[in-house]
Amino acid sequence: MSVLKLEEYRQQIRTELDRVVDFWLKHSHDTEYGGFFTCIGRDGKVYDELKYVWLQGRQVWMYCRLYRTMERFRRPEILEAAKAGGAFLRNSGGSGGSGGDSWKCAFCLTRDGKAVKVQRTIFSECFYVLALDELSRVTGDVDMQAEAEQMLQQLVHWVRVDPSGLGRLRLPGDVPTSSMAVPMMLLCLVQQLMEGRGQEAEQRHGELGAWCVQQILQHVQRGGKAVLENVSAEGAELPGCQGRLQNPGHALEAGWFLLQYAAQRGDGELQRTAVDTFMELPYQQGWDQEHGGLFYFLDVDGHCPTQLEWSMKLWWPHCEALISFLMAYRRTGNPLLLHRFAQIFQYTFSHFSDAEHGEWFGYLTREGKVALDFKGGPFKGFFHVPRCLHMCELILDELLAGEGR
């Protein structure tokens, strides 16, 4: 592929990132109570004032990452919005946000920050850690960074020692399972907290990072021919629909997490696994040959998945695929991987991007028609799209500067 084509991709991605940032700057800020509206319609109108802690944390992280790593986003309004979002998060959704002195975070809040719902998972807390650590990097607030470290230790305790603090009932027929989302998310936090902090951070978090990688690799089943979303606590395949479930987008996201980890440690074998097993395999199994795009869920044995949205095309798997294949091309130089990126780019930009109002639609039918036209909701906020565009722009900068591998 020519340098001219790579430059064309970079310019399109740069322009799109600017439009996405402008959309959220314009429509999502709650100047009265703090934090961010995320239930935003196609044209930017707020249709529900509930606030979701996952998305509060993600937006703080994204604003800070843009502010810290891209000169054109080093703007006072972005920093101030991130600081205000962080304050809302700590006051409302953070430790104790579910009531009492617990480290458990809320999942959903009223507009003014009162807890509405708590999930019995670790993910609100994970995005709380991401937000506080990245915000501490741009503000220099050492207490905030220390709180992020303390929350991570609580997460590790829940996952590896005693999950009772999550509030889940232990039922007699409930077999312990390993969801790939858990070690993936913890690995993401390890990489966040270790970034640029040298040997001290390696000593503090290196063992956890290695454990996360080992846990993720247990999801490679069927002799290396399938990545399954759920396995037993011992790393064996589970019976039934739960055990046969595949999520191509999630596997692709795990792929670039593993590729980053492999690059940091010079691990060639893990790099090959990341590319061949967590990128190529989910792409080949998950790409819809008839209509294009990635299926949301699959059944490894070819049964119809029980998830009603299984055949839909969602925004975030395509974001993860773009990051994965461009990063893999940068690391390997294999032109097939750049071809994959180009194919996914063409589908994604022609189907999800809204030329009229800005930002991306999130939910398409199998045929690629818009099914839900809002730009933000309980799970779609200012995260997957800007993270994808931000990372792809930086990778293309390196490729065009001759720093590819």
Sorted by where each begins, the domain ranges of the chain are 178-334
Tell me which residues of the chain have a pLDDT lower than 70.
1, 93-101, 403-405
Say if strands 177-179 and 230-232 run parallel, antiparallel, or are unpaired: antiparallel
What does pLDDT average to over the chain? 96
| DSSP string for residues in 331-350 | HH--HHHHHHHHHHHHHHHH
- Residue 79's alpha-carbon distances to 59, 84, 138, 148, 163, in angstroms, are 12, 9, 8, 19, 36
Question: What pLDDT shows up at residue 100?
Answer: 42
Q: How far is CA 146 from the centre of its chain?
A: 23
Question: What pLDDT shows up at residue 2?
Answer: 82
CATH number of 178-334: 3.40.50.300, 1.50.10.10, 3.40.50.720, 1.20.120.80? 1.50.10.10
Question: What pLDDT shows up at residue 361?
Answer: 98
Question: What pLDDT shows up at residue 99?
Answer: 42
Question: What pLDDT shows up at residue 372?
Answer: 98
Question: What pLDDT shows up at residue 170?
Answer: 87
